[in-house]
A and B are shown apart, each in its own frame.
Chain A
Amino acid sequence: MNIMTEKERLFKVLRGESVDRTPVICPGGMMTMASREVMVQTGCYWPAVHRDAEKMATLSVAMREKTGVENIGIPFCMTVEAEALGGEVEDGDETTIPGIVNYPLQSVEQWRDLKRLNPYKDGRLPTILKCTSILKQKVPDTPVVGNLVGPLSLATSLIDAAILYKAIKQYPKDVHNLLKFLTDNSIEYGKALVRNGTDLIVIADPSATGEILGPVLFKEFALPYLNDITTSMHMLGKPVIVHICGDIRSICKPLRELSSECISIDSLVNIKKMRNAIPEKKLMGNVSTILLQNGPISKIQVVSKNLLTSGIDILAPACGLSARTPVKHIKAMSEIVKVYTT
């Protein structure tokens, strides 16, 4: 019997076909996949890596090799689209991820002043595209994840979140216009990623959590735009995973209407309950990143194993990894899938 490649296995799971065992991934983007330990080993350090396609490729490939995680995840932050649209980014340091420090918008209606992004020209987008094509050559059997920021979260990188959330009630039409514009831009960037070799798309939408929006507003302001991006990526033949942060129990119903194959969930959500609440979606998650950072290894193993028995479809960290996370801790998670089969 042929042994599945990492790519085949992940795709089969997302298509609902049977596989030899559960895949384990760490998507990158908002769900950052880097450890300082590996930066030291490769000489590819944050923050220089964020603007250097070669170094980004080297670090991400080394992360996969050292930790046993079965994908490549770039970039190491969630600021590339916002930067390309005019957000000012501070690159952080060796263990601090880049963040937006200045918003280009003061009000939602100013969205008209935003310039459409050009994935081949603006900000770091060309770097990410270049890195993607390098990875495509280097590791053809490993899934390369293309990371997009969900429209609502992208909006909160371009305008103060409080202004945006208030505008949802005050000027819903303008908010829809802004989100539509951002969705179109993300699709443009997503297409460019696919053209350069991205195998699947993960959309992270931390600002769209049920705790902030509740089910009604989630359905109106997050769901349709996530589905627009998903549909566009499906038309290019790429599967999609959507990550929502925080407690999503209140939005279980609208989550069932997501078009994505898979939902990635945060550590405070119980997988067994989720499994029953959203039976039609593949579930990814949700090893606590705090546990992954602090250990002990024995507990990481127990938690990972419990997730497998609870019916997780793809084992993954619940959120972005701290760059201080020891490699052996990540390895403890990724090795479980190889020794333990349900």
Chain B
Amino acid sequence: MQMKSDILDTLARAVIDMDIALVQKTATEVIHHKVDPYEAIMDGLAKGMDTVNELFENEEYFVPEILLCADAMYAGIEILKPYLPKESTWNKRKAVIGVVKGDTHDIGKNLVKIMLDNAGFEMCDLGRNVPYSKFIDMAGELKADLVCLSTLMTTTMDGMQVIIEDLKKAGINSRVMVGGGPISPGFAKNIGADGYAKNAAEAVKVAKGLLNNTPLDLLPFSIPKLVYIKREKGGCIQ
């Protein structure tokens, strides 16, 4: 079917080109031409975002581009979401993410959030300058599979250890991934983190690795990557 593959290609291309208007127009065509919306997300939008990740890793794209590509992808999902089959439910892998108290740099955290979002996590973003206890509370409340702690400053590194210890004390068995400028793999290991990610692209691989090795009830990663997008205020795709 020529038209379907054209539509999927256009979606992917429009994400790569940061062209929100074209994504929206093409997503509407998906509905008109009765293309499977799920396929449009997976083989169109998400495929485009995969290429964006590669461009990022190859230093052809930088942060401004990534942010706009992600916006384009979300704009498409927003249109396709209502047409996804209601009965399909997937186990959501939940991740809590935030920048540890004392640090107000959050661009790295935002990137990791976008990448994990894209990889199928339901992201709960606590923001920046987050008090330690809030990580514990949210991880417990959501029964989060993953807690992602970020800092860009030496001054807030100690907080990570406090959070990891408090999680254990509270009996929460979320996996913990840490990252950010001053963090090294050695430091991550020392403070008892389960994983360390050097950058946003690597964060996805590390997160997947961590969760595949847990006894948690998880779906294999061949399952739809983009299903659990949670917008700031909106709900999740069901």
Residues of A within 8 A of B (CB): 32, 90, 92, 95-97, 99-101, 156, 161-162, 165-166, 168-170, 206-207, 211-214, 217, 245-246, 250, 266-267, 288-290, 293, 319-324
Chain B 51-71 residues near chain A, CB threshold 8 A: 59, 62-65, 67-68, 71
| Residues in chain B near residue A217, CB distance under 8 A | 62, 64
- Known contacts A212-B107, A289-B182, A319-B153; decide if A166 and B68 are in contact (CB<8 Å): yes
Additional A-B contact list (11), CB under 8 Å, known A211-B62, A245-B152, A322-B158:
A32-B155, A101-B104, A156-B107, A169-B64, A211-B199, A213-B62, A246-B181, A289-B182, A290-B187, A320-B154, A320-B155
| Residues in chain A near residue B64, CB distance under 8 A | 165-166, 168-169, 213, 217
Chain B 100-122 residues near chain A, CB threshold 8 A: 101-107, 110
Q: What's the Cα separation between A2 and B153 when bound, in Å?
A: 41
Q: What's the Cα separation between A250 and B60 when bound, in Å?
A: 11
Residue contacts A-B, CB under 8 angstroms, 29 given: A92-B102, A95-B102, A96-B156, A97-B153, A97-B155, A99-B129, A156-B107, A161-B105, A162-B107, A162-B110, A165-B63, A165-B64, A165-B67, A165-B107, A166-B68, A206-B152, A211-B63, A213-B64, A214-B59, A214-B62, A217-B62, A217-B64, A290-B184, A290-B187, A319-B153, A320-B153, A322-B153, A322-B155, A324-B155
Q: What's the Cα separation between A266 and B64 when bound, in Å?
A: 22
Point out the residue from B63, B153, B157, B199 that lies within 8 Å of A213, measured CB to CB.
B63
B105 touches A206 (CB 8 A): yes
Mark B183-197 against chain A: 1 for CB-CB distance below 8 A, else 0. Answer: 010010000000000
Q: What's the Cα separation between A266 and B68 when bound, in Å?
A: 28
| Residues in chain A near residue B18, CB distance under 8 A | 169
Q: What's the Cα separation between A97 and B64 when bound, in Å?
A: 28
- Known contacts A90-B129, A165-B63; decide if A290 and B110 are in contact (CB<8 Å): no
| Residues in chain A near residue B129, CB distance under 8 A | 90, 99, 101
Residues of B within 8 A of A (CB): 18, 59, 62-65, 67-68, 71, 101-107, 110, 129, 152-158, 181-182, 184, 187, 199
A100 touches B104 (CB 8 A): yes
| Residues in chain B near residue A250, CB distance under 8 A | 59
A319 touches B182 (CB 8 A): yes
| Residues in chain A near residue B71, CB distance under 8 A | 166
Q: Which 6 A-B pairs have the closest CB atoms?
A: A214-B62, A99-B104, A96-B102, A289-B154, A165-B64, A212-B63
Q: What's the Cα separation between A266 and B154 when bound, in Å?
A: 12
Q: Residue of A at shortest CB range from B114?
A: A162
Q: What's the Cα separation between A214 and B102 when bound, in Å?
A: 27
Q: Distance (Å) between the CB of B23 and the closest chain A CB?
A: 15
Q: Distance (Å) between the CB of A77 and the closest chain B CB?
A: 10
B68 touches A169 (CB 8 A): yes
- Known contacts A97-B155, A166-B68; decide if A161 and B102 are in contact (CB<8 Å): no
| Residues in chain B near residue A245, CB distance under 8 A | 152, 181
Q: What's the Cα separation between A290 and B191 when bound, in Å?
A: 13
Q: What's the Cα separation between A105 and B158 when bound, in Å?
A: 31
A161 touches B154 (CB 8 A): no
B157 touches A322 (CB 8 A): yes
| Residues in chain B near residue A168, CB distance under 8 A | 64
| Residues in chain A near residue B154, CB distance under 8 A | 289-290, 293, 319-322
Q: What's the Cα separation between A169 and B153 when bound, in Å?
A: 28
- Known contacts A99-B102, A165-B67; decide if A207 and B62 are in contact (CB<8 Å): no
Q: What's the Cα separation between A245 and B156 when bound, in Å?
A: 16
Q: Distance (Å) between the CB of B62 and the closest chain A CB?
A: 4
B107 touches A207 (CB 8 A): yes
| Residues in chain A near residue B68, CB distance under 8 A | 166, 169-170
| Residues in chain B near residue A169, CB distance under 8 A | 18, 64-65, 68
